[in-house]
Amino acid sequence: MTTVENLITSYRESLENSPLQIAAEYKHQHPDQKIVGCYPVYTPVELIHAAGMLPVGVIGAGNRLEIAHADSRFQSFVCSIVKSTLELGLTDKLNFLDGIVFHSICDPARNLGSVFKRNFPNLMVEYIHFPQNMTSPHSIDYLIAEYRRLGASYEQLSGKKISDDRLRESIAVYNSQRSLLRELYAIRRESPQNLSTVECYILTRIGTLIPPDEHIGILREALPELHRRNEKPKDRIKVVLEGSFCEQPPIELLDGLESAGCYILDDDILTGWRWFADDIETEGDPLRNLANAYINRSVYSGVKHDTREPKAKHLIDKFKETGASAVLILAAKFCEPALFDYALYKRALEKEGIPHLCLEFEEKMWIFDKARTEVETFVESMLFD
Amino acid sequence: MEKEKTSYQGQMHLLQKDMMGRYFERVTRAAEAGEGKAVYMLISGNPVELIQAFDLIPVYPEIDALQLAVKKSALPFIQKAEELGYSMDNCAYVKADVGLFLGDRKTPFATIPLPSLILCNYVGCNVYLQWFEHLAEYCSGELYNLDIPFLRDPSGVPSKEDIVYVVRQLEEVIEICERLTGKKLDYARLKAIVSRSSETGDMWSRIKALTKNIPSPFDAYFDSVTMMAPLYCLRGTEEGVRFFETALKEMEEKVRMGTGPLPEERFRFIIEGPPPWPYLRTFRDLFSKWGAVAVASTYSTVGGLWEFGFRHDPNHPLESIAQHMLQWNVTNRNFLQRYQQIRRYVEEWQADALVIHSVKSCRLFSAGQGDMREYFTKELNVPTLLIESDIEDPRYFSEAQLKNRIDAFFESLEHKKILHAGAEAGGAA
């Protein structure tokens, strides 16, 4: 196996067993390093980093954690990630965190923030209300104030001041990380036979669990090797995947989707860690730059409501730009934002004559036959049509 | 005695029916004769005062969905939306409304006009954003997201910046309304409307305090609903004020007479969560047979929370509309603030128990109510019952199951009461 393959295999095992273990081990080795967990989707990680702390993605628990306590707190009709996150807390698996941040992405996630506050009084629980008015010129000032409030909270937690220069440096660090991730995604988009979705996912996901500098190092080492790959394309249809911006599909499922006959050219998985289509400005007022980036330059997701364009526009654009031949909607079960979006996507895709398939998943699922069969049938209908 | 009780209740109910009838006639005239322009809004902490000031017609898709459910005609609309791609797991209020919106918009109570403005007052509920986003895609009405920052600070109050942000947006809404109507905002008129909202809030709050009496003069869940429609649709109007004057007088009279909604009040409970509209009567009867009266409810604070002292301030109309939207309604408050609201109800309204009605459609209310039960039973020792059904979708209402749970709960509560009375008598002897 090559270096990259070795790396991916070893990380895959940890991610499948217990995704946060990588971050917990880091804390074990660096006991003085303060760590702040970031619930999906969007976190201005730069603020946490500039306060000398490590932002870590708390993005579900995978499919090997038994939910034994959280299901008495959150009902059966609430999505898996809300319950698995609480279960992690209730079973002491988040003890390595000094803080955690939730956002105004959906109603269950919002209430989860409160439940965390009550159940884990030693953890600093923050909550960001992201503006949902993208047309008012006052939204930026509001968001700057919100980031300033958050920054003050993180200064208190870390005992370190967030100076403008430190914040600019952090923006630059995450700009590098995001730019390398864009390069990674470009490889898959151009030649999906050279980079599988699972590989792409693992290389992205580890960036949510280790310091950004280390992740940048890993990507810098891996990318040249990936660029050199020269595999023969298989007879698969090319698709764009949408709907998994928060709860993450199991790695086996991603594997299954591709081996059932798809090349996934683009997706919205882990979108919160690559939420800008280009670099955030490092010159000038860094808080304003961060706020402006959210309002004017962040990528679309089902929980950011931008009335400036129709709901499905970004998806149709993505479909056309990548040269895909179909759209795969992969929505988490009980995820209201993704399921609502689907109704509008369906309408728009049908209008444009774009074939699509909608599948529901749960992070805790471990049988994939049904999904696989559905994708196979869909692919066959496309290939032999 | 029984006869008198009925006639007291009757006045308020008749007035309500009459007023809501006229409101729906106005809505229908807008739809069928093009009289006036409709502004769609949501119930939670809405700025209806501004809309009244422009003589625009407030239309609430939530009320339309609610009426469909009450009249048992929601299911075909829900199914129509599901055929279009909406999920079984999406909020059924939205599905019923979308099904209605994409048809001829005719209902047994009104014909619903198309909106000139879709004003999404995003007060807590994230589904609101999607609901109005969808309606905007289905028609040519202008969409404005009025973004209300959630109460996230441990202090439980909005920041100065939050208030400024909301006021600035309200000013933008005023500009849109001026454009729609071709009229400048009459500031003096807005102040008069806000003043009437303040009066209404004051009377509503006094009405709600009356349920602290034993027996409670009315049921703060099932009967509050009668008062909630005028509170939301007609707040700020003269007839709204008159309605609440009548309601307050009637309720005070009932207190003087020592009568309540049931022949005997045996249990006082607090109820959390929205009602199951398709089976409201059936649901009520499950409690009535135990002599159980709801003395306070969180649902009756969705549109506004006045009982803890908030009043609109006519001298600062926009700021106080902003305060109402930000702070003085249950939906924009964080989940732990709701625990504290219920705790106050249990203590100050002297309740025996808490009933949590968990509805699948509204995750704003329901997600995490198991933790709420944990808090009330384990930390506060308040007997708590958690039951599930839905606010809109009749397919989620299982009468037999609910009856079993409710009966078992009140049986055990009764048993505790007997033991407690026995212990007290024993102690006294």
* Residue contacts between A and B (CB atoms, under 8 Å): 169
Contact state of A138 with B87 under an 8 Å Cβ cutoff = no
Distance CA(A292)–CA(A139), nearest Å, equals 9
A12 half-sphere exposure, CB direction, 13 A CA radius:
16
**SS3 track for chain B:** CHHHHHHHHHHHHHHHHHHHHHHHHHHHHHHHHCCCCEEECCCCCCCHHHHHHCCCEEECHHHHHHHHHHCCCCHHHHHHHHHCCCCCCCCHHHHHHHHHHCCCCECCCCECCCEEEEEEEECCCHHHHHHHHHHHHHCCCEEEEEECCCCCCCCCCCCHHHHHHHHHHHHHHHHHHHHHHCCCCCHHHHHHHHHHHHHHHHHHHHHHHHHHCCCCCCCCCCCHHHHHHHHHHCCCCHHHHHHHHHHHHHHHHHHHHCCCCCCCCCEEEEEECCCCHHHHHHHHHHHHCCCEEEEEECHHHCCCCCCCCCCCCCCCHHHHHHHHHHCCCCCCCCHHHHHHHHHHHHHHCCCCEEEEEEECCCHHHHCCHHHHHHHHHHHCCCCEEEEEECCCCHHHCCHHHHHHHHHHHHHHHHHHHHHHHHHHHHHHC
Where are any strands of DSSP class E within A39-187?
A: 54-57, 99-103, 124-128
Distance CA(A45)–CA(A177), nearest Å, equals 12
User: Contacts of residue A138 in chain B, CB cutoff 8 Å?
Assistant: 164-165, 168-169
On the question of pLDDT at A309 being above 80, the answer is yes
A282-306 pLDDT, tens digit each? 999 999 999 999 999 998 888 999 9
B369 touches chain A (CB under 8 A): yes
User: Contacts of residue A305 in chain B, CB cutoff 8 Å?
Assistant: 129-130, 133, 145
Contact state of A129 with B94 under an 8 Å Cβ cutoff = no
On the question of pLDDT at A384 being above 50, the answer is yes
Q: Tell me which chain A residue has its CA closest to the CA of residue B138.
A: A344
- Contact, A250 vs A361, CB < 8 A? yes
Contact state of B137 with A310 under an 8 Å Cβ cutoff = yes
Burial of A253 (0-12, 13-18, 19+ CB in 10 A): buried
Contact state of B87 with A339 under an 8 Å Cβ cutoff = yes
B363 touches chain A (CB under 8 A): yes
Contact state of A112 with B147 under an 8 Å Cβ cutoff = no
- B231, B275, B219, B363: which is closest to B66 by C-alpha? B275
Strands B115-122 and B142-147: parallel
Residue A53 lies in a domain: yes
Q: What is the ipTM of this complex?
A: 0.96
Dmax (CA) for chain A in angstroms is 63
pLDDT (tens, 9 = 90+) of chain B, 429 residues, equals 344 444 445 688 889 999 999 999 999 999 999 999 999 999 999 999 999 999 999 999 999 999 999 999 999 999 999 999 999 999 999 999 999 999 999 999 999 999 999 999 999 999 999 999 999 999 999 999 999 999 998 889 999 999 999 999 999 999 999 999 999 999 999 999 999 999 999 999 999 999 999 999 999 999 998 889 889 888 999 999 999 999 999 999 999 999 999 999 999 999 999 999 999 999 999 999 999 999 999 999 999 999 999 999 999 999 999 999 999 999 999 999 999 999 999 999 999 999 999 999 999 999 999 999 999 999 999 999 999 999 999 999 999 999 999 999 999 999 998 888 888 877 654
- A337, A271, A274, A299: which is closest to A82 by C-alpha? A337
Residue A330 lies in a domain: no
**Structure confidence at residue B234 (pLDDT):** 85
Q: How far is A262 from chain B (nearest CA, A)?
A: 24
**Structure confidence at residue B232 (pLDDT):** 85
Q: Which of A104, A118, A336 sits opposite B150 (nearest CB)?
A: A104
Sorted by where each begins, the domain ranges of chain B are: 2-428
Q: pLDDT category, A277, cuts 50, 70, 90? A: confident
**Structure confidence at residue B185 (pLDDT):** 98
Contact state of B126 with A112 under an 8 Å Cβ cutoff = no
Contact state of A74 with B367 under an 8 Å Cβ cutoff = yes
**Structure confidence at residue A269 (pLDDT):** 96
Give the number of domains in chain A. 1
Q: Which of A111, A133, A146 sits opposite B367 (nearest CB)?
A: A111
Locate B358 and state its tokens.
Answer: 């968990």
Interface of B with A in 399-418 (CB under 8 A): none
Cβ burial B102-141 (10 Å sphere, 16+ → b, else e): beeeebebbebbbbbbbbbbbbbbbbbbbbbbbbbeeeeb
B191 touches chain A (CB under 8 A): no
Contact state of A342 with B85 under an 8 Å Cβ cutoff = yes
**Structure confidence at residue A44 (pLDDT):** 96
Average pLDDT of the segment spanning A235-257: 96
Positive or negative, the Cα torsion across B30, B35, B39, B41? negative
Locate B270 and state its tokens.
Answer: 């607090």
Distance CA(A317)–CA(A229), nearest Å, equals 28
- Contact, B109 vs B29, CB < 8 A? no
Contact state of A340 with B130 under an 8 Å Cβ cutoff = yes
Distance CA(A340)–CA(B91), nearest Å, equals 9
Q: Which of A114, A128, A344 sits opposite B134 (nearest CB)?
A: A344
Distance CA(B44)–CA(B58), nearest Å, equals 13
User: Contacts of residue A73 in chain B, CB cutoff 8 Å?
Assistant: 368, 370-371, 374
Q: How far is A30 from chain B (nearest CA, A)?
A: 30
User: Contacts of residue B371 in chain A, CB cutoff 8 Å?
Assistant: 73-74, 115, 118-119
Q: Is A221 left (phi over 0), alpha (psi -120 to 50) or beta?
A: alpha
User: Contacts of residue A145 in chain B, CB cutoff 8 Å?
Assistant: 159, 161, 165
Q: Which of B86, B125, B375 sits opposite A107 (nearest CB)?
A: B125
CA angle B201, B206, B207 (to 5 degrees): 95
Dmax (CA) for chain B in angstroms is 78
Q: How far is B341 from chain A (nearest CA, A)?
A: 14
Contact state of A342 with B388 under an 8 Å Cβ cutoff = no
Contact state of B363 with A138 under an 8 Å Cβ cutoff = no
Contact state of B134 with A334 under an 8 Å Cβ cutoff = no
A1-57 pLDDT, tens digit each? 788 999 999 999 999 999 999 999 999 999 999 999 999 999 999 999 999 999 999
**Structure confidence at residue B3 (pLDDT):** 40
Interface of B with A in 111-150 (CB under 8 A): 122, 125-127, 129-130, 133-134, 136-137, 143-147, 149-150
The helix/strand/coil state of A137 is coil
Q: Which of A112, A138, A303 sits opposite B169 (nearest CB)?
A: A138
Distance CA(B163)–CA(B175), nearest Å, equals 19
Mean pLDDT of chain A: 96
Q: Which of B81, B149, B367 sits opposite A107 (nearest CB)?
A: B367
Contact state of A343 with B152 under an 8 Å Cβ cutoff = no
Contact state of A74 with B165 under an 8 Å Cβ cutoff = no
**Structure confidence at residue B37 (pLDDT):** 98
Distance CA(A98)–CA(A139), nearest Å, equals 30
**Structure confidence at residue B427 (pLDDT):** 61
User: Contacts of residue A315 in chain B, CB cutoff 8 Å?
Assistant: none
Q: How far is A251 from chain B (nearest CA, A)?
A: 25
B91 touches chain A (CB under 8 A): yes
On the question of pLDDT at A128 being above 70, the answer is yes
Find the domain containing A41 and state its range: 23-160
A61-113 pLDDT, tens digit each? 999 999 999 999 999 999 999 999 999 999 999 999 999 999 999 999 999 99
Q: Tell me which chain B residue has its CA closest to the CA of residue A112.
A: B368
Q: Is A365 left (phi over 0), alpha (psi -120 to 50) or beta?
A: beta
Distance CA(A363)–CA(A248), nearest Å, equals 6
Contact state of A113 with B334 under an 8 Å Cβ cutoff = yes
Residue A86 lies in a domain: yes
User: Contacts of residue A128 in chain B, CB cutoff 8 Å?
Assistant: 152
A339 half-sphere exposure, CB direction, 13 A CA radius:
22
CATH classification of the domain holding A126: 3.40.50.11890
Residue A152 lies in a domain: yes
B175 touches chain A (CB under 8 A): no
Distance CA(B374)–CA(A225), nearest Å, equals 53
CA distances from A195 to A27, A274, B108 (A): 31, 18, 58
- Contact, A363 vs A80, CB < 8 A? yes
B80, B134, B145: which to substitute to probe chain A, counting the most A Cβ within 10 Å?
A: B145
Locate B82 and state its tokens.
Answer: 């599901």
Distance CA(A344)–CA(B382), nearest Å, equals 45
**Structure confidence at residue B428 (pLDDT):** 53
